[in-house]
């Protein structure tokens, strides 16, 4: 059975928040608006004004900071208290995942308003649930996708550039994981097989970020919106969201989940840990040196981490490596979508190897913290 999924509506434009009521006002007359502190500051006034014009009574609540069972339960109770007919989540991936989970728990529509393009969370019928301390706990699979995804590129361009770059790291993994799943005839996140559309979208995601990332980053560094910014925002958000869900996940995200089990990595962003997972996946797959080096160089060019030290593990102990590798290979993890059997020993070996590979290329090629490239800029490998 082949399965393809997507949000009902995806809207991306400059100042999209100013007209949110035009797009979601028909969902009900009462709504709960859940926003991170930054998103609340950036979007509350124009969003509530637009919703008010559409005849929607809005209750605004601040997100606690963690997509946890406790936070989902807290907000679900508020939905009941105020009689909200739909929920809107505004902020980063954890805020949006929480809003989607609340919609599922309360059987109401969920609308998401990403204020950063740092993950592919907005478009999926999936919430990644963490403990209150930020450790990965479970994937919560939802019965439906967001009713609407409203992407305001002006808001996203004003967000910190490192969050935008982290989103590229998350998007970069999409093709590698989807293709690994396809080759192994594994299941996608929707418990079905990949469609041609899902597979091609995953590839388009890779092509888009590798062709437009540097120009897009240059623009958002000055809070500007250009065609390249539009392209990369779409890749980070829509293409990556559909690509990972309908295409499938593999080792990169499993290794990310394993890395969250080590407290030292908690300061690293989702896409940063995913990028380390991607390089580790390439080592696990036995990709040739030139291919891996090109991916490392691209990462250096745009400021993505390529070593364990850059995500908080300066000199990991055997115990820490074992913790990461064991969690990455848990029974329900997507690393088992590969055509080979992955074991904790293999993952630990690949982590150390990818780290040393990243250090070597970084030393020879430039400063990994700034993306300076003293040698000729390489082209990225064709999507295989």
Per-residue pLDDT at 365: 80
**Residues 131 and 228 reside in one and the same domain:** no
If one counts the domains in the chain, the total is 2
Residue 4 lies in a domain: no
**Residues 71 and 113 reside in one and the same domain:** yes
Residue 373 lies in a domain: no
DSSP state of 285: T
DSSP state of 298: H
Residue 346 lies in a domain: yes
**Residues 107 and 205 reside in one and the same domain:** no
Residue 83 lies in a domain: yes
**Residues 278 and 153 reside in one and the same domain:** no
DSSP result, 57-119: EEEEEE--SS--HHHHHHHHHHHHHHT-SEEEEEESHHHHHHHHHHHHHHT-EEEEEESS-S-
Per-residue pLDDT at 121: 87
Per-residue pLDDT at 383: 60
**Residues 346 and 205 reside in one and the same domain:** yes
**Residues 185 and 255 reside in one and the same domain:** yes
**CA end-to-end span of the chain:** 24
Per-residue pLDDT at 120: 87
Per-residue pLDDT at 366: 62
Of the residues 114, 134, 157, the one at which a domain ends: 157
**Residues 73 and 186 reside in one and the same domain:** no
- Measured in degrees and rounded to the nearest 5, phi and psi for residue 88 equal -120, 130
Distance, CA of 382 to CA of 384 (rounded, Å) = 6
User: Which position among 109, 120, 152, 170 bears the catalytic label?
Assistant: 170
Crossing angle of helices 251-259 and 161-183, in 10° steps, is 130
Tokens of 379: 């082209």
Unique residue bearing structure tokens 């992955």: 342
Of the residues 157, 192, 217, the one at which a domain ends: 157
Range of the domain at 41: 9-157
Distance, CA of 122 to CA of 150 (rounded, Å) = 9
Distance, CA of 178 to CA of 284 (rounded, Å) = 15
Distance, CA of 87 to CA of 379 (rounded, Å) = 43
Per-residue pLDDT at 370: 44
Residue 44: give its domain's CATH number: 3.40.50.1970
Q: How many CB atoms lie within 10 A of CB 346?
A: 18
Residue 379 lies in a domain: no
Residue 168: give its domain's CATH number: 1.20.1090.10
Distance, CA of 321 to CA of 343 (rounded, Å) = 13
Q: pLDDT tens track of the chain, all 384 residues?
A: 999 999 999 999 999 999 999 999 999 999 999 999 999 999 999 999 999 999 999 999 999 999 999 999 999 999 999 999 999 999 999 999 999 999 999 999 999 999 999 988 899 999 999 999 889 999 899 999 999 999 999 999 999 999 999 999 999 999 999 999 999 999 999 999 999 999 999 999 999 999 999 999 999 999 999 999 999 999 999 999 999 999 999 999 999 999 999 999 999 999 999 999 999 999 999 999 999 999 999 999 999 999 999 999 999 999 999 999 999 999 999 999 999 999 999 999 999 999 999 999 999 986 544 444 333 334 566 666
Residue 382 lies in a domain: no
**Residues 202 and 131 reside in one and the same domain:** no
- Measured in degrees and rounded to the nearest 5, phi and psi for residue 319 equal -65, -40
β-strand partners of 150: 11
Per-residue pLDDT at 28: 97
**Residues 153 and 165 reside in one and the same domain:** no
Distance, CA of 79 to CA of 62 (rounded, Å) = 13
**Residues 147 and 218 reside in one and the same domain:** no
Residue 192 lies in a domain: yes
Helices in 267-336 by DSSP H: which ranges?
270-284, 289-302, 318-328
**Residues 247 and 152 reside in one and the same domain:** no
Per-residue pLDDT at 322: 98
Q: How many CB atoms lie within 10 A of CB 55?
A: 11
Count, in order, helices (H) and strands (E) of the chain.
Answer: 14, 8
Instruction: Please name the helix (run of DSSP H) or strand (run of DSSP E) that holds residue 253, with its range, or none.
Output: helix 251-259
Of the residues 130, 157, 184, the one at which a domain ends: 157
pTM of the model: 0.90
Residue 256 annotated in active site: yes
**Residues 204 and 318 reside in one and the same domain:** yes
3-state DSSP assignment of residue 189:
coil
User: Which position among 23, 212, 253, 336 bears the catalytic label?
Assistant: 253
User: Which position among 23, 212, 256, 336 bears the catalytic label?
Assistant: 256
Per-residue pLDDT at 294: 96
Q: How many CB atoms lie within 10 A of CB 183?
A: 14
Residue 107 annotated in active site: no
**Is 216 within 8 Å of 254 (Cβ atoms)?**
no
- The CB-based long-range contact list for 10-14 (8 Å cut-off, 24+ gap) reads 10/123, 10/148, 10/149, 10/151, 10/238, 11/148, 11/149, 11/150, 11/151, 12/151, 12/153, 12/230, 12/233, 12/234, 12/237, 12/238, 13/151, 13/152, 13/153, 14/152, 14/153, 14/154, 14/225
SS3 readout for 323-366 = HHHHHHCCCCCHHHHCCCCCCHHHHHHHHHHHHHHHHHHHHHHC
Contacts for 207 with CB less than 8 Å, ≥ 6 apart: 383
Instruction: Please name the helix (run of DSSP H) or strand (run of DSSP E) that holds residue 310, with its range, or none.
Output: none
Contacts for 6 with CB less than 8 Å, ≥ 6 apart: 123, 145, 242, 246
Per-residue pLDDT at 119: 84
User: Which position among 270, 336, 338, 355 bears the catalytic label?
Assistant: 270
- How does pLDDT run across 258-304, given as a tens digit for each residue? 999 999 999 999 999 999 999 999 999 999 999 999 999 999 999 99
């Amino acid at each position: 059975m082949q399965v393809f999924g997507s949000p009902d509506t995806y809207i991306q434009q400059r100042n999209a928040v100013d007209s949110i009521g035009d797009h979601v006002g028909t969902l009900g007359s009462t709504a709960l608006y859940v926003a991170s502190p930054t998103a609340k500051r950036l979007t509350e006034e124009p969003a509530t004004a637009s919703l008010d014009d559409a005849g929607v009574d809005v209750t605004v609540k601040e997100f606690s900071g963690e997509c946890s069972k406790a936070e989902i339960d807290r907000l679900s109770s508020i939905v009941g208290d105020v009689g909200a007919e739909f929920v809107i989540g505004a902020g980063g991936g954890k805020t949006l995942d929480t809003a989607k989970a609340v919609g599922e728990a309360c059987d109401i529509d969920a609308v998401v308003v990403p204020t950063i393009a740092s993950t592919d969370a907005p478009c999926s019928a999936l919430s990644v649930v963490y403990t209150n301390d930020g450790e990965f706990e479970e994937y919560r699979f939802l019965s439906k996708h967001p009713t609407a995804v409203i992407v305001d590129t002006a808001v996203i361009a004003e967000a910190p550039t490192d969050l935008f770059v982290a989103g590229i790291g998350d998007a970069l993994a999409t093709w590698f994981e989807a293709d690994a799943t396809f080759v192994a005839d594994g299941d996608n996140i929707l418990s079905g097989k990949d469609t041609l559309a899902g597979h091609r979208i995953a590839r388009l995601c890779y092509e888009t970020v590798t062709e437009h990332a540097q120009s897009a980053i240059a623009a958002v560094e000055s809070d500007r919106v250009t065609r390249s910014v539009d392209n990369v925002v779409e890749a980070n958000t829509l293409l990556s969201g559909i690509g990972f869900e309908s295409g499938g996940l593999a080792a990169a995200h499993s290794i990310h989940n394993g890395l969250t089990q080590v407290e030292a990595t908690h300061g690293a962003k989702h896409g940063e840990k995913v990028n380390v997972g991607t390089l580790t996946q390439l080592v696990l797959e036995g990709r040739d040196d030139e291919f891996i080096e090109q991916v490392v160089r691209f990462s250096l060019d745009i400021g993505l981490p390529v070593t364990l030290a850059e995500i908080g593990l300066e000199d990991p102990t055997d115990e820490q490596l074992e913790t990461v590798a064991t969690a990455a290979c848990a029974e329900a993890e997507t690393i088992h979508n590969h055509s080979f059997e992955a074991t904790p020993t293999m993952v630990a070996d690949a982590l150390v190897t990818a780290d040393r590979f990243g250090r070597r290329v970084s030393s020879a090629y430039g400063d990994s913290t700034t993306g300076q490239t003293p040698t000729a800029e390489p082209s990225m490998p064709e999507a295989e």
